[in-house]
Structure 1
Amino acid sequence: MAAEVGSDLDEGGFGTPTANNILIHTGQLDYVVALAERFAREVPNTVTFPFDSATLDPAAQTILAQQARWMRHFPEVTFRVFGHTDLVGSERYNQGLGLRRARAAANFIVRQGISRRRVEAVVSNGETQPLIPTPDRERQNRRAVTEVSGFVQDNARILNGEYARVVHREYVESAVRAPNTP
Structure 2
Amino acid sequence: MLARSLSLLSMVALLAACNNEAGYSSSYREAGLINNGADFGNSTMQNTLVMTGASSYTVNLNNRFVAQVPTTINFAFNSYVLDDEARATLRAQADFMRQFPEVRFKVYGHTDLVGSSSYNRTLGLRRAEAAVLYLQTQGIQRSRLEAVVSHGETQPLVVTEGRERANRRTVTEVTGFVNSNPMVMNGKYAEIIFRDYVQSASVPATLFNGSATGTSE
TM-score by length of 2: 0.72
Structure 1 residue ranges without an equivalent (≥5):
178-182
Structure with the higher helix share, 1 or 2: 2
* Structure 1 pair 165–117 and aligned structure 2 pair: CA distance change class (3 A): same
Per the alignment, do residues 17 and 75 of structure 1 end up closer, same or farther by CA in structure 2, a change over 3 Å counting? farther
| 1:126, distance to aligned residue in structure 2 (A) | 0.3
Alpha carbons 1:73, 1:166 under 8 Å: kept: yes
- Which of 134, 149, 155 is equivalent to 2:160? 134
Q: Which runs of 4+ in 1 moved over 4 A?
A: 4-7, 15-22
Higher strand share: 1
Q: In the TM superposition, what whole-angstrom CA distance separates every residue of 1:114-150 from its partner, at most 9, and x where no partner exists?
A: 1111112421100000000000000000000000001
Deviation at 1:22, TM superposition (A): 4.7
1:17-59 CA distance string (max 9 Å, x none): 7765553343201110101001001000000000001100010
Task: Answer 1 or 2: higher relative contact order, Cα 8 Å, separation at least 6.
Answer: 1
Determine which of 170, 177, 180 is the counterpart of 2:196: 170
Matched, 1:72 2:93: no
Q: What TM-score, normalized to structure 1?
A: 0.85
- Once residues 179 and 104 of structure 2 are traced to their aligned partners in structure 1, the CA distance between those partners, rounded to angstroms, is 9
C-alpha distance in 1, partners of 2:141/2:116?
Answer: 34
State, as a whole percentage, how many aligned pairs show the same letter: 53
Residue correspondence of structure 1 range 28-43 to structure 2 within 5 A: 28-43=54-69
Q: State the alpha-carbon separation in 1 of the partners of residues 120 and 175 from structure 2.
A: 24
Say how many residue pairs are matched. 168
Deviation (angstroms), 1:109:
0.6
- Map of 2:125 onto structure 1: 99
Q: Which of 31, 37, 49 does residue 75 from structure 2 map onto?
A: 49
- Local SS of the residue matching 1:96: helix
Moved more, 154-163 or 63-72: 154-163
Question: Residues 78-97 of structure 1 correspond to what in structure 2 (within 5 A)?
Answer: 78-97=104-123
RMSD: 2.2
CA distance in 2, matches of 1:6, 1:83: 27
- The residue that corresponds to 2:207 in the other structure is none
Name the SS for the 1:120 alignment partner: coil
Aligned residue in 2 for 1:180: none
Instruction: Give 5+ residue unaligned stretches, structure 2.
Output: 1-32, 204-217
Aligned counterparts of 1:6 and 1:76: Cα–Cα separation in 2: 29
Return closer, same or farther for 1:5/1:23 CA change in 2, 3 Å cut-off. Answer: farther
Question: How far, CA to CA, are the matches of 2:49 and 2:34 in structure 1?
Answer: 12
- In 2, the alpha carbon distance for the partners of 1:58 and 1:161 equals 35
Distance 1:34 1:5 in 2: 25
